[in-house]
Amino acid sequence: MPKRRPAPGTPDLFSDYKPAPVVERYAEDSVRAFDLAGRLSKAVAQTLEDCGMTRSQVATAMKDLLQDETMSKNMLDAYASQAKEHVISALRLAALVAVTGDPRPLNMLLETAKLVVVPAKYEPLIRREVAKDRQAALQREIDAADAAWRAGK
């Protein structure tokens, strides 16, 4: 049976649909820099720009989360500047991600390790797929053993 063609003038409801990305990343040109520290500075700056909070608000929330009185807007400014020698620490980066809700800085850093940060709600699906991969490997092993057994008869 031939495929039905839509009636003329009928819009395609899904033509403009673009699902939200599961793994959030920066546009490649927005974090381009000479080295990883420069890319991280640009990532921090981009996250601060996109988060909808002032840098003072972010610094205060990070200070409260970390219980770190030394955390300040000036520190955030230094982390976001490629001209400064300051690179954000892992704890402060985790706090930045928690406060802003933006996992992109972590994803940018993890690219070299071929890892990604995904929302926790997807963990059961990932576990399922890993289990299915193990199951398929076991089935291949069983099939190979069966073939060897039949060949030996």
Domain ranges of the chain: 29-115, 118-153
Distance separating alpha carbons of residues 53 and 135, to the nearest angstrom: 46
What one-character-per-residue DSSP string does 41-60 give?
Answer: HHHHHHHHHHSSS-HHHHHH
- 153 residues of the chain, pLDDT tens digit each: 677 776 676 666 677 788 777 788 888 888 888 888 889 999 999 999 999 999 999 999 999 999 999 999 999 999 999 887 788 999 999 999 999 999 999 999 998 899 999 889 999 999 999 999 999 999 999 999 999 999 986
Burial class from Cβ neighbours inside 10 Å (0-12, 13-18, 19+) for residue 30 reads middle
Rounded Cα distance, 77 and 116, in Å: 26
Q: Both tokens of residue 48?
A: 């601060």
pTM, full prediction: 0.75
